[in-house]
Amino acid sequence: MALVERSYQLLTIQMRDRDLNTSSVEMRFSALADLTDFLAAIPTVVVAALAGISDAVVVGWTLTRQAVDAAPALAAETSDVERKGVFSLLTDNGHTVTVSVPSIKNTLVIDRTNQINLADALVIAFTNILTGVTLLDTAFMVSNRDEAVETVIKGEKTHRGSSKG
């Protein structure tokens, strides 16, 4: 089957009270809404309306557009989501960012090491997305400090726990 985009987008607004406790409000909106107009309306309409009915303050929001596969193919016998490919990257300000890929292919790991072969064509195709090569000329990866991610430092295979399905 194929990934199919949901018919809605999920807006999650985080709010904090005087005791620094946080809670969130979740609302689903039609995915047919113009994204630019919708993004502009979040602070001016939605956040303003919440401020009118709540004593808590809005401290952030997240907008999620989701696509799901209702009948995914079976994963390969060699798949193991606890085996991660962890890529360490540097931002333009010298800070470190990591990206973990579940079930990294063993064929991308250099023999007798846990190092991912950064010269492999499949790895290059992925790391180019992470290191300043724009995605469809519309976006590039940034850190949580809004710093451009520029360089891959290393990639290594690790074993990290996951939730059981």
Q: Which two tokens stand for residue 113?
A: 């090491």
Q: Angle at CA 40, nearest 5°, toward 4 and 141?
A: 60
pLDDT of residue 15: 95
Q: Angle at CA 9, nearest 5°, toward 43 and 29?
A: 70
Q: For the chain, which ranges sit under pLDDT 70?
A: 1, 32-33, 132-138, 162-165
pLDDT of residue 153: 96
Query: Domain residues of the chain, as ranges?
Result: 4-68, 83-159
Q: Which residue has the tokens 């790991």?
A: 109
- For the segment 57-103, what is each residue's pLDDT rounded down to a tens digit? 999 999 998 888 988 888 988 899 989 999 999 999 999 999 999 99
